[in-house]
């Protein structure tokens, strides 16, 4: 067995009872497979004010069930089972009186088929606990993971709202969506992210009424796409590497699950549950003020590198 710190990067990962009482091993992967460095630069907020940002690192994907269960497994293996129980995601978030979602309640978190899907049902406290754990594990093995980082230390955390938007822009100033364009489909008519079908660029989801609404003064695109490509995608979440990476190499910065940020109770990026206008980079969270575990909210971690 490799050192414990290798757990977080898939190096000889051992799964306990959480993975259907069987053990699985992944091949060695390089840190570059997981992290992207976001270059220093300036970024314009929606109000057109410009913010300067230092370079930082961010995970290429949302935190997956596999990632989070490695954290829970480590706690169980280090005599912290009571804490592990308190930090388990709330799987009842999948319960919906209008849909039969009991299979997700039972299987979404623990079944290997969903290992590479984003973890949901987590609170902010759970996300921060994961960040603290990952900070410790990475610093224990930093000389192995990043050999050139001598006399350095890292802090894993949630990105700030501005950092998140800058990373989501892919380096394109005032981009509407992470891929830079104003539409939700590519030139072949395929959707570029996971969101509520039928609610395109001019449609927003009203969480108070549970209904979709048309935005005023919105210039929409072609809603029809191409034959056979109208309903592709996921009815709930999609794998963390679904669709295409954008300019900085990040996946699912629009849709799939909304992502927590460090300095706001509202999540960013929209999700499978909301409409097309809600997954744009600058969109307001339709569930503003609902800072509770949800089936449509997860998180992605950022990392700061500093001298010891």
Which of 125, 151, 124, 121 is closest to 139 using CA atoms?
Answer: 151
> CB of 50 within 8 A of CB of 41?
no
Which of 186, 220, 219, 180 is closest to 200 using CA atoms?
Answer: 220
Q: What is the pLDDT along the chain (308 residues), one digit of tens a residue?
A: 333 333 433 332 333 333 333 333 333 357 878 999 999 998 877 777 888 999 999 999 999 999 999 999 999 999 999 999 999 999 999 998 777 889 999 999 999 999 999 999 999 999 999 999 999 999 999 988 899 998 999 999 999 999 999 999 998 877 899 999 899 998 888 899 999 876 556 567 777 777 766 554 444 443 333 333 434 445 799 999 999 999 999 999 999 999 999 999 999 999 999 988 999 999 999 999 889 999 999 999 999 999 98
**pTM for the full model?**
0.83
What's the pLDDT score for residue 196? 85
What's the pLDDT score for residue 45? 76
> CB of 275 within 8 A of CB of 212?
yes
What's the pLDDT score for residue 224? 36
Query: How would you class 215 by CB atoms within 10 Å of its CB: exposed for 0-12, middle for 13-18, buried for 19 or more?
Result: middle
* Helix intervals (H) in the chain: 65-77, 81-86, 102-107, 124-140, 142-145, 161-169
What letter does residue 113 receive in the DSSP assignment? G
Residue 43 belongs to a domain with what CATH number? 3.90.1580.10
Domain residues for the domain of 218 are: 4-307
What's the pLDDT score for residue 30? 74
Mapping DSSP to helix (H, G, I), strand (E, B) and coil, where does residue 4 land?
helix
What's the pLDDT score for residue 96? 85
Structure tokens at 79: 């005599």
Count of domains observed in the chain: 1
Task: Give the separation between CA 101 and CA 96, rounded to whole angstroms.
Answer: 7
What's the pLDDT score for residue 136? 96
Which of 42, 44, 37 is closest to 176 using CA atoms?
Answer: 44
**Strand partners for 204:** 213
């Amino acid at each position: 067995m490799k050192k414990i710190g290798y757990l977080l990067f898939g190096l000889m990962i051992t799964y306990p009872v959480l993975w259907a009482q069987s053990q699985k091993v992944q091949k060695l992967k390089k840190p570059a497979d997981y992290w992207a460095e976001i270059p220093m630069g300036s970024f314009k907020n929606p109000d057109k004010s410009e913010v300067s940002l230092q370079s930082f690192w961010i995970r290429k994907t949302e935190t997956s069930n596999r990632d989070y269960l490695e954290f829970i497994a480590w706690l169980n293996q280090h005599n912290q089972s009571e804490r592990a129980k308190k930090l388990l995601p709330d799987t009842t978030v999948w319960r919906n009186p209008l849909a039969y979602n009991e299979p997700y309640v039972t299987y979404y978190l623990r079944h290997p088929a969903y290992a590479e899907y984003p973890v949901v049902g987590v609170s902010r406290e759970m996300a921060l606990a994961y960040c603290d754990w990952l900070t410790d594990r990475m610093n224990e093995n930093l000389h192995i993971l990043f050999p050139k980082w001598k006399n350095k230390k890292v802090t894993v955390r949630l990105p700030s709202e501005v950092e998140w938007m800058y990373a989501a822009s892919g380096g394109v100033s005032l981009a509407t969506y992470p891929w830079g364009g104003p539409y939700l489909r590519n030139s072949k008519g395929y959707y570029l992210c996971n969101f509520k079908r039928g609610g395109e660029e001019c449609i927003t989801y009203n969480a108070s009424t549970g209904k979709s609404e048309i935005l005023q003064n919105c210039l929409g695109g072609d809603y029809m796409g191409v034959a056979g490509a109208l309903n592709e995608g996921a009815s709930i979440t999609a794998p963390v590497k679904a669709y295409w990476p954008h300019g900085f190499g990040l996946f699912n910065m629009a849709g799939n699950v909304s992502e927590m940020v460090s300095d706001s109770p509202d999540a960013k990026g929209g999700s499978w549950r909301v409409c097309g206008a809600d997954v744009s980079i600058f969109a307001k969270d339709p569930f503003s003020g609902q800072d509770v575990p949800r089936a449509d909210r997860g998180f992605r971690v950022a990392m700061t590198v500093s001298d010891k």
